[in-house]
Structure 1
Amino acid sequence: MSRAAFSPAPTASRSDRAAHVLGWAAGLLLLVGLLLQQPLWLQTLRNAVFDQYQRWQPRPYEDAAVRIVDIDEESLARIGQWPWPRTAMADLVAAAAAGGAAALGFDIVFAEADRSSPRELARHWDLTPEQQTAFAAMPDHDAVFAQAMDAGKVVLGFAIRQAPPQPGAAALPPIPAGLVELGSGAAPHLQPFAAAVAAVPALAAHAFGHGALAFLPDSDGVVRRVPLLLRVADRTVPSLVSELLRASLDEKNLLVRSTEEGIEQLRIGAVSIPTTRDGEMWLHYAPASARRSLPAWQLLAGQVAASELQGKILLVGSSAQGLLDLRFGTQGHLVPGVEIHAQALEQILARHFLQRPAWAPMVEALVLLAGAALACAAALCLRPALAAAASAVALLAVAGASWWLFSRQQMLFDPLTPGIGIALAFLAPSVQRHHTSDQRRRWVSQAFSRYVSPNLVSHIVQNPEQLVLGGKRQTCSFIFTDLAGFTALMEAIDPAEAVLLLNRYLDGMIEIAFRHQGTLDRIVGDSIAIMFSAPIAQADHRERAVACALELQRFATAFAQAQQSTGVRFGHTRIGVHAGEVIVGNFGGETIFDYRALGDPVNTASRLESANALLGTRTCISEAVLGRAPAAPAVRRVGQLVFKGKTKPLLVFQPANDGLDLAVDLQAIADYEHAYALMAARDPQALAAFERLAQTQGDEPLVRFHLERLRKGEGGDIVTFTAK
């Protein structure tokens, strides 16, 4: 680890910022383009939003001039299973005409002759010639039905299919409705079909009109639109809804207005219906209502009041589940197909149209672009909370406008596409900004750690609430170091070289302190102060301090020897280690904080470092760190030191070999401890014991120190310092 090499703060030049802006602008345009491609998942989600709008605000049911003649379960139970004889259909037509119905439409395809007709039955039964003659004289059911249709405006439904027509299948029926086209023509925009399955010619020739029975559900199976015009082979044909409306208004023609972009409007008499570009009308479902339906059996039994028929458009169809004419509506439940046709007619007669204008996608794109640009700019320029608030306001505005247009103007405006664009435009730069901010935060943390301890920086970053004035009591361990003779060295060599040496020395010392998770308390010239168990409590702070002190001494000795080998008189390092309860926290004032420990143990650790100069040692460790009887055998007692201004002695130890990286002579330590014990007990034999030690350990500073004390007549192991 080299603390000298450090990269500058991550910054962006003006050209970089311009490139970023252009990049985000290009990204926004790409996003708009992708969303305007209308992928299937987006269409599905958008349709789900429109469906939810209809659940929140369905179209209120109004008693429009539309009734369903429902072949319901009860009608099947009373009349018989389906299909009913065509004479029953003739009775329905007659009852409707008698009641003054405006038009009657069949949501049923009569593609085959009535098998219950006498002639059809005679073909399959073994009859006598007389019986065959009698059956032949009976009226044909289809003929009875056709004759009944002549008395009213009846519209027959025909099915359409994508597959080519089967041989013998009924061809497209005659379409009496005329088609008047204004504009470029509707056919290219209509949903194409290959063939039709129509009513048998005997019936088709007597109908007032023919309408296609076709629903074009979306990919999720929900019917949201009803086609008004379709294309079968090369002909444009009306749907059952369009043809029934034409019949009820007694009009001859359908007027279609279209452009190159698509169909805009279908006009039947005085009624104008806005359409999609494909010739469909949007459905706005109303709740199910019993008033909309007339059971078929009641009409056949003459139990329907004339007021329920007069001027009404009647639709014959079935809600019986067994007949399988059920579709999914926007309300989330199955709807009979005949009811969908009825609801479409109700909307037309009430002039209640849901519209999604052709220009809606362009407006949505502009809203997306404007909102996304706002969200992107906010994410890049404002504080995160304000940027999020601005983006949320934009999203709410889009959603609110969409709902207002639906609920008040019956317009379908997609809030999802702009909403996704705004959300992505906010999230993408926010993530980048967070990444950049995180980079800068890590850089600041790294840079700040050059001035203070990394574990202190980490603690402040993780606990910013503790960055307040004040402190707390905590037991910590402290290391103080000092470099001997550095002032003289600075006078002897070039100051720049001396500073370079000092920085290399301090770099190595501080790296060791950080490796042991120590907190750098301060650097004063060539001296450093290190504390353990602050700001993060460390249960093993004493062991950490001892291990750190020994490694510091080994590094300092090796560094000094390396410099001395080059002729630089680099001095040795003195170290003091002590532990105790202190006040730890932020001191100073409101302007600047100084995180440090205050208390006598700090002063004592500094005194221990200074004591090395008098004792001749390099490392002194107090009993507060090691205990009075340390478990580690590779230490020796220095003495009980009484510092100036103190009255209580402090037992101090010296690491074996003074912390140097040398082999430990346990016998020498034992011999020293024996002599020390005699001195501590004031035994007269102490002097002789130290004189014998001097012969074998004369290079040991402590041996010389105590020998001189004893020769001066001092006894015991208490050493009093008269100077700080």
Structure 2
Amino acid sequence: MTRAQQIGVIIGLAIVAVLTLLRASDPQLLRLIRDVTFDEYQRVSPRSFEELPVRVIDIDEASLREFGQWPWPRDRLALLVDRLSEMGAAAIAFDILFAEPDRLSPRTVVGNVPGIDPSLLSQLPDNDEIFADSIADKPVVLGFGLTNEGTYRPSVKAGFAFTGESPVGAPPHINAATPLRPRLEANAAGIGHISLNPGSSSSVVRAVPLFLTDGEQLYPNLALEALRVAQGVSTYVLAGAPDAAGVMVSVKTGDFVVPVTAAGELWLYVSPDRAERYVSARHVLAEEGASAKVSAAINGSIVFIGTSAAGLQDIRVTALGENVPGVSLHAQTLEQILNGRYLSRPDWADGLEIFAIAVLGSLLVILTTFVSPAVALACGLAITALAVVASWLCFSYAGLLFDPLAPIISGSVTHFAATSFRILVIDRERREVRRAFGQYLSPSLLYRIEHTRDALRLGGDDRQLTVMFVDVRHFTEISERLPPTAVVGFLNTLLDALSRHVVANEGTLDKFIGDSIMAFWNAPVDVADHETKAVRAALAMRETLGELNAADAFGFGKDQPVGIGIGIHTGVACVGNMGAESRFNYSAVGDAVNVAARIESSCKDIGFDILISEDTARLQLGAALLEAGTIGLKGKSSRTRLFAVVGDERVMQSVEFAELRQLHHQLVEAFRSRSPDTRRIVSAIRLKTKMIAGLAEFYRRISRRADHFRDEPISEEARPAE
């Protein structure tokens, strides 16, 4: 094996390792590709529609034209329940929220008229009472939604039994629910949540949570609760994993056992939207009574009451790409349970796909290096065809979901990279090195890298860095009021002026992220006093921005200055070439980078433009600093102490700052000791802030906290929201 082949194998296997780790981390993009693949499978072979005892009572456009706009008075809904019950509905489930009193109730309408005798109101009918009386002793299931306000939890009408370890912690979490009217809640036979995809960023509903949890109690889904009520059973039997808590395997209600994901979700296997699934509400409410056809459709069926009216905005997207009423998906969930056709993605599917990427990628690297790219391509195409066929057969015959695209894409990337390396020459490699590093390294260092073996390898080294993040304040508002070309011009002017100070202070420009700058010091070469130089660069940025605003360089007007926030932290990070062999960036990742980014975001909450961590402040050789509070970091029990950079060494040595620092120290101690002098000290400090620009907002926010929470430490005052 030649050295070139050795290098080719090493690089190829490194790419395979990166792709394997990427798949193991399962980023959002790969999940989206996988979901779209499974959507296409359903579009090719959707679940066939069958005549099952499930119907949707549709408050459609025709019903609204006949009976008036939504919301309908609840005495009409009571009539709807009575009619459905008379027709023999096995269960009646409302995909409608009843959180507020009926504003159309005669008692409510008359009660809002000034001067009405209160004694007369009790003689008027109340629609909520009529509706509550109607659903009493009937198989009616009411729905509730999710909210982030309040602490209300709905009643749970069913009991729970567990096999295996407790799965209570498995489903999506519920913070609070939309409250039901008390009498409606008391008289309902069942209560279920109507959330179809809580927490999902996708508009497509692919899986429905059959339960929600608050950590102690489970709350069933509307469709599942309707099935329980229709069967007249009182308990759900939930199977958990035999050796792991917080994992759900299946749900049994009456005669039906439903396999679910570990989080208690049911993969939806949808059928095309069909008119036979729906019965218009106007046919049920017709004065002459429902037709024999409608009565036959309702008799013995579980019915869901909802709306397809476009104006009521309860339209969802299915895996088939159809826009359907949300109530239709509740009906389809129940249909799927009744006919027993399920989709599942086994727990070991991820492991199989990761293993396939590692093994097939390694095989392609060896074939490309030692045989020929053409043979490797033929093998790759054969593997691709095999993966697609195997995945499709598993879906068609067993309802199993295996992703064929992740191994295919990874294999394609690996083959392309290995083939490209085989035909590249050293000069080409050197040009790539110069292109990648020439923007932010000195010519002498660049020459050393060009003539160093493995210069293009992926990976990095742990180094002590000082990391800086800079972000433009209110950039969204700025971009919304400017045309795109003006936004680009604004960013070019600002970022060019600010980034010059990074280079001038021996820093490394990592990247521009929209309206943000990431930079670091002490890599790729050692930089003495890098903590101090990073702070000097931040102070220079502040001064430059002030000059640009004073000159109205952005054309916004001098009364609309541009602001920035700067966060700096010193710590260990991994710095090096990151990405793929064919395309990479010299960058830094790790805890120090995350902390610096969090500090920058804290500038908004604390009300100051330059904040540094205690690790950076400890090594400063000359800067005017004031303690600014702490922030909490995920995964760490201790909090990170912050300091505001007021000015340079000249400011630090000034009499004004010395007096301010003494008062600020007293303020810190007052907060920590819960002293009643807090407000007095804040008032004294605010007089001093007039002498040093930029501190007014900082102390204004502390003052507000002192007014309301004088007993809290200042570190708590400055704590940003998690």
2:221 to 220, 234, 239: 239
Partner residue in 1 for 2:165: 184
User: Which one of the candidate residues 101, 122, 128 is aligned to 2:110?
Assistant: 122
Pairing 1:569-718 to 2, within 5 Å after superposition: none
Separation in 2 of the partners of 1:147 and 1:333? 38
Q: Which residue in 2 is equivalent to 1:331? A: 320
Q: Are the aligned partners of 1:155 and 1:208 in contact in 2 as well (CA < 8 Å)?
A: yes
CA distance in 1 between counterparts of 2:93 and 2:220 reads 13
Deviation of the 1:173 alpha carbon? 2.2
2:2 alignment partner in structure 1: 12
Counterpart-to-counterpart distance in 2, 1:326 and 1:82: 16
Moved more, 386-395 or 183-192: 183-192
CA contact (8 A) 2:169 2:215 kept: no
Per-residue deviation at 1:126?
4.5
Task: Pick closer, same or farther for the CA change 1:136–1:118 going to 2, 3 Å.
Answer: farther
Residue 250 of structure 1: aligned partner: 232
Q: What residue identity is the alignment partner of 1:115?
A: R
Matched, 1:104 2:92: yes
Structure-1 residue corresponding to 2:303: 314
Deviates more, 1:339-348 or 1:111-120: 111-120
Change (3 A) 1:126 1:19: closer
Please say if residues 194 and 233 of structure 1, whose CA atoms lie closer than 8 Å, have aligned partners that are also in contact: no
* Cα separation, 2, equivalents of 1:119 and 1:438: 88
Residue in 1 that maps onto 2:22: 34
In the TM superposition, what is the alpha-carbon distance from 1:285 to its structure 2 partner?
A: 1.7
Question: Which residue of 212, 219, 243 corresponds with 2:201?
Answer: 219
**3-state SS of paired residue (1:181):** strand
Q: Counterparts of 1:122-521 in structure 2 under 5 Å?
A: 122-126=110-114, 129=117, 136-161=122-147, 163-165=148-150, 171-216=152-197, 218-232=200-214, 234-259=216-241, 260=244, 262-301=247-286, 302-304=289-291, 305-435=294-424
1:250 deviates by: 1.4
Larger deviation, residues 367-376 vs 316-325: 367-376
**Cα distance, 1:127–1:75 mapped onto 2, change above 3 Å:** farther
Q: CA deviation at 1:107?
A: 0.3
Q: Does residue 74 in structure 1 map to residue 62 in structure 2?
A: yes
Amino acid of the residue matched to residue 174 of structure 1? S
Q: Name the residue aligned to 1:54.
A: 42
Corresponding residue for residue 641 of structure 1: none
Q: Which amino acid aligns with 2:111?
A: R
CA distance in 1, matches of 2:351, 2:129: 55
Aligned counterparts of 2:186 and 2:120: Cα–Cα separation in 1: 27
Query: In the aligned structure 2, how far is the partner of 1:229 from the partner of 1:109?
Result: 18
Q: Per-residue displacement from partner, 1:510-541 (whole Å, max 9, x unpaired)?
A: xxxxxxxxxxxxxxxxxxxxxxxxxxxxxxxx
- Residue 57 of structure 2 aligns with an amino acid whose one-letter code is V
Q: What SS does the aligned partner of 2:21 have?
A: helix
TM value normalised by structure 1: 0.55
Letter in 1 for 2:206: R
Residues 19, 357 of structure 2: 8 Å contact kept:
no
Q: Where do 4+ consecutive residues of structure 1 move more than 3 Å?
A: 16-27, 126-129, 132-135, 436-439
1:426 deviates by 1.7
- Measured in 2, the distance between the counterparts of 1:324 and 1:59 equals 26
- Is this contact kept in 2: 1:51–1:331, CA < 8 A? yes
Amino acid in structure 1 at the alignment position of 2:252: R
Q: How far does the alpha carbon of each residue in 1:687-710 deviate from its partner, in whole angstroms, 9 at most, with x for none? A: xxxxxxxxxxxxxxxxxxxxxxxx
* Matched residue type, 2:300: G
Match of 2:75 among 60, 67, 87: 87
Residue 23 (structure 1) shift: 5.3
**SS at 2:424 equivalent:** helix
Offset, 1:209 = 0.8
After superposition, what is the alpha-carbon deviation per residue over 1:263-292, rounded to whole angstroms, capped at 9, x for unaligned? 211111221111111111111221111100
> Match of 2:71, SS?
coil
Shift of the 424–128 alpha-carbon distance from structure 1 to 2, 3 Å rule, reads: closer
Q: Which amino acid aligns with 1:98?
A: E
Paired with 2:26 and 2:214, the residues of 1 have a C-alpha distance of 27
Q: Counterparts of 1:246 and 1:317 in 2: how far apart (Å)? A: 20
- Where 1:424 maps in the other structure, the secondary structure is helix
After superposition, the C-alpha distances for 1:183-231 in whole angstroms (9 at most, x for unaligned) are 2222322211211113100111000010011122643321111110001
Tell me how far apart the structure 1 counterparts of residues 52 and 179 of structure 2 sit (CA, whole Å).
Answer: 29
Partner of 1:552: none
Q: Is the 8 A contact 2:56 2:327 kept in 1?
A: yes
Structure 2: give runs of 5+ residues left out of the alignment.
429-722
- Once residues 338 and 408 of structure 1 are traced to their aligned partners in structure 2, the CA distance between those partners, rounded to angstroms, is 29
Distance 2:328 2:299 in 1: 20
Q: Distance in 2 between matches of 1:43 and 1:65?
A: 35
Q: Could you say what secondary structure the match of 2:308 adopts? A: coil
Question: CA deviation digits over 1:32-71, x for unaligned, max 9?
Answer: 1211211111111111111122222221111111100000
Q: CA deviation at 1:172?
A: 1.9
Task: Tell me the CA shift for residue 30 of structure 1.
Answer: 3.3
Between the two proteins, the alignment pairs up a number of residues equal to: 420
Structure 1 residue 306 displacement after superposition:
2.5
Tell me what 1:621 maps to: none
Amino acid at match of 2:202: D
CA contact (8 A) 1:44 1:219 kept: no
Q: Deviation at 1:437?
A: 12
Preserved CA contact (<8 Å) 1:374 1:391: no
Secondary structure in structure 1 of the residue aligned to 2:355: helix
Q: Deviation of residue 436 (structure 1)? A: 6.8
In structure 2, C-alpha distance between the alignment counterparts of 1:404 and 1:216, rounded to whole Å: 28
Aligned counterparts of 2:116 and 2:6: Cα–Cα separation in 1: 100
1:386 and 1:18, CA in 2 relative to 1: closer, same or farther beyond 3 A?
Answer: closer
Please tell me whether the aligned partners of residues 137 and 187 of structure 2 are also in contact (alpha carbons under 8 angstroms): no
CA contact (8 A) 1:118 1:136 kept: no
Go from structure 1 to structure 2 and tell me whether the alpha carbon gap of 1:437 and 1:60 turns closer, same or farther (over 3 Å shift): farther
Q: Deviations over 1:652-689 (max 9, x none)?
A: xxxxxxxxxxxxxxxxxxxxxxxxxxxxxxxxxxxxxx
Q: State the distance in 2 between where 1:40 and 1:47 align.
A: 10
Task: Report the Cα distance in structure 2 between the residues aligned to 1:179 and 1:123, rounded to whole angstroms.
Answer: 44
Give the unaligned 5+ runs of structure 1. Answer: 1-10, 440-724
1:192 is paired with a residue of what secondary structure?
A: coil
Measured in 2, the distance between the counterparts of 1:22 and 1:431 equals 14
TM-aligned CA distance change 1:17 to 1:389, over 3 Å: closer
Structure showing greater radius of gyration is 1
State the Cα distance separating 1:394 from its structure 2 match: 0.4
